[in-house]
Amino acid sequence: DTTSFRRNMRRYSPLISDPHSMRIAFLTAGGIAPCLSASIGGLIEHYNEIAPEADLMGYLNGYQGLLLGNSYDFPQAVRQRAAVFYSFGGSPIGNSRVKLTNVTDCENRGLVKPGEDPLKVAADRLVADKVDVLHTIGGDDTNTTAADLAAFLMENDYPLTVVGMPKTIDNDVYPIKQTLGAATAADNSARFFRNIANENTTSKRQLIIHEVMGRHCGWLTGRAGHLYHESLRNYDWMPEALLTQFRWDVDAIWVPEMEITLEDEIERLNEKMNEHDSVNIFLSEGAGLDNIIAELKADGKEPAKDAFGHYRLDDVNVGKWFSSKLKDKLGAEKVLVQKSGYFARSAAPNSEDLELIKRSASHAAESAMRGESGVAGLDEENGGTMSTIAFPRIKGGKPFDINETWFTKTLEEIGQPKGRRIESH
């Protein structure tokens, strides 16, 4: 259980008595997000204060680099200019999607030799590199993999502290109130559509589908739709020149957590199309995913899966599927499907995110110095305070709460029925 896990990890991860001899490693994993580079910068800056003589290194391309022994030592020149990291998106030390308990996948990719246990290979590498602290920066997959590694280390008496930082633009990790990178991604998804929306002028009866990342959670889609809708209040509209908010506004926001009756929505959206000659839809890439997968399987076209067993959504192409269902029903003369995912997730952090990243990095470093393993994040079950959350409590799949006031208000203003909440999907 959580209590015994934390007690044992403290046993095998004792308080560092000599910070000067410490070796601290970072790795970033999973898809990129607007917090990875900044998280490294935040960790370096704080370690410059509390452990200036400690050695800092990064494993290149996440767990892949850890398995292959590919790493980079941060020189003093980098440590002295750590704030530069805050201006960049992505991760300078690179990412990958590797699940250490998926032995077959690790073997097939040449990350371990046949018969080797990836967890042991990773642990042995950390010991060989004399690492005292490992910081994992990633989402639920990254940190549940870190939990597997931490448990293995604990069971086999490897003295190491593992402290994660919760990255994901989906904001869907239990029990994290706000994950790193999500606020920036929502802001940039809205910014992306502010340009795309002008495409409504290219033809009569224009349908624009803005496909937003979010496999199971609609938070990013909902938040982006809300921010875009709110931004239109700042426009200087001129109805006399046919420049009206109605034509540029969001007409529908579809997320996985909300049951959508497509027939009813088509009827409502036809009225919008007839009224202002265009329809704009914010679509989560996870909306309707089960139906689409079932349809593809029936046609003998089941999409490939990644190392974590997730369907590769680029192969599913949710936006294209919905556009094929809606084009004729809405009498659209032109359909445009645009994906903001890579634009949003590759941005540098905004001010809101950067403040949270710095707080999280400071807490993660302090936790590591205490020898306390876990994930540094805002704990919803602890009043939303910054805490070191035990690894067994970390899991993905947290749904978006469609009853959030800002979301229900947006739906009301764009004329979309809230719909029934789907409890599991």
Residues with active-site annotation: 170
Angle value at C-alpha 290, between 287 and 291, nearest 5 degrees: 90
Tokens encoding 200: 């409504």
Looking only at the bridges linking them, the beta strands covering 23-28 and 133-138 are parallel
Tokens encoding 58: 């990064």
Looking only at the bridges linking them, the beta strands covering 278-284 and 71-73 are unpaired
Looking only at the bridges linking them, the beta strands covering 206-212 and 161-166 are unpaired
Partners of 258 in beta bridges: 421
| Rounded CA separation 365/288 (Å) | 41
Q: How would you list the strands of the sheet with 55-59, edge to edge?
A: 71-73, 55-59, 23-28, 133-138, 161-166, 374-379, 385-389
Task: Give the 3-state secondary structure of residue 258.
Answer: strand
Provide DSSP, 145-186: HHHHHHHHHHHTT---EEEEEEB-TT---BTBSS-BTHHHHH
Q: Side-chain half-sphere of 234: how many Cα atoms within 13 Å?
A: 6
CB atoms within 10 A of CB 85: 22
